[in-house]
Amino acid sequence: MKAAFPPGILPEGQQERIDHHYRSRPFSLFWEMRAILYLGVLFLCSGLGILIYKNIDTIGHQTILGAIVAATAACFWYCARHAKPFTYAQAAADSSWAEYMLLLGVLLFGVFTGYLQVKYSVFGDDHALALGLPATLYLFLAYRFDHRGVLQLAISGFCAAIGIVTTPLAAIQENVFDHHAPVWTGLAMGAALAVAGALSELRDFKRHFSFSYINFAMHLSMIAGITGLVIGKGWEKWFFFLLVGALGAGLWKYARWKRSHYFLLFAVLYVYVAFSYGFLRLLFLADASAGVSFAFFYFILSCAGTIYFFLNMKTFLKAESEDAGLPEK
């Protein structure tokens, strides 16, 4: 990388020293090594799973469970030994290996719980409990060792546990499948996660965890709202259409507050999907034959407008920040 300045701006020889600095400074491999270590943890767990699956009759179930317990305990012991005292703020890890050992430990614990349930049915037919208990442990470990990856595993576990309770088990046991059950479940879970994220911000309690909470809340709520819009009937469609619009407006303001292109991107995409569905449905109900032609032009114009917005999103966020009197980050 070369830093170029107009002639006369820098003293004589300063340009050469700056160029030499950019050419000779070390190149950081932090994120590359981080990605390799995370992939190593995942590949290790996958490889052990394949090895166990192919040699299950030779190794024995008790031996496998004992090895998993020993490895999990070793990971948690290493993390506990190198952990800093708990703090409400973001904590820096004492050991560069601690977070990877923690991730390996929670993955092995999940394997252990799943193994017990599949082989010995420890939790009986209560599969939600088999998912909820590890998720509760993950949540505790995420806060104790300040690990956002483990927090996301915990949130995913809770979402999976609640989804099992509200949909598949009800369908199997009662022979009734309520299509609206996952919609309301997703909205309720999204609201709970949004509250958790807001409390993290307002109480300054692990503030950096708020992104994970809001991210899950956004996708759960928006997908549930759009699903309700599609499968709803009559007034339900209007309710979910307005709901998605209100959620999009909230995400819009949140993205502007955080200067987040990520949240702004998904706010626009989800609202665009909901609006397109509602508009095209009304169009085809009014005149099915002319609807095809109008739909063709609608997608061309709307896609062009959306692309233009995305290309100028950074400028737009900056302008919004200036209008709101917010300081630049």
Q: What is the pTM of this model?
A: 0.78
How many domains does the chain fold into?
1
27 within domain boundaries: no
Residue range(s) defining the domain that contains residue 254: 43-260
Q: What is the pLDDT of residues 172-209, one digit of tens each?
A: 444 434 567 788 888 999 999 999 999 999 988 999 99
| Rounded distance between C-alpha atoms, residue 83 and residue 229, angstroms | 47
278 within domain boundaries: no
Instruction: Collapse the DSSP code of 234 into the 3-class scheme (helix H, G, I; strand E, B; otherwise coil) and give the result.
Output: coil
How far is CA 162 from each of CA 19, 182, 261, rounded to the nearest angstrom?
57, 9, 30
> Once rounded to an integer, what is the mean pLDDT over residues 67-79?
91
Please report which residue ranges of the chain form alpha helices under DSSP H: 14-24, 30-54, 56-59, 61-81, 98-120, 127-145, 148-166, 168-174, 181-202, 210-231, 235-258, 261-286, 288-311, 313-324
Q: Which of 268, 271, 250 is nearest to 309 (CA)?
A: 268
32 within domain boundaries: no
155 within domain boundaries: yes
pLDDT interval class at 5 (50, 70, 90)? low
266 within domain boundaries: no
Give yes or no for residue 273 having a pLDDT over 90. Answer: yes
Q: Out of 98-102, 152-156, 161-165, pick the least confident.
A: 161-165
209 within domain boundaries: yes
pLDDT interval class at 167 (50, 70, 90)? very low
> Once rounded to an integer, what is the mean pLDDT over residues 2-15?
62
pLDDT value at residue 135? 94
5 within domain boundaries: no
20 within domain boundaries: no
Average model confidence (pLDDT) for the chain? 81
Give yes or no for residue 278 having a pLDDT over 80. Answer: yes
Give yes or no for residue 139 having a pLDDT over 80. Answer: yes
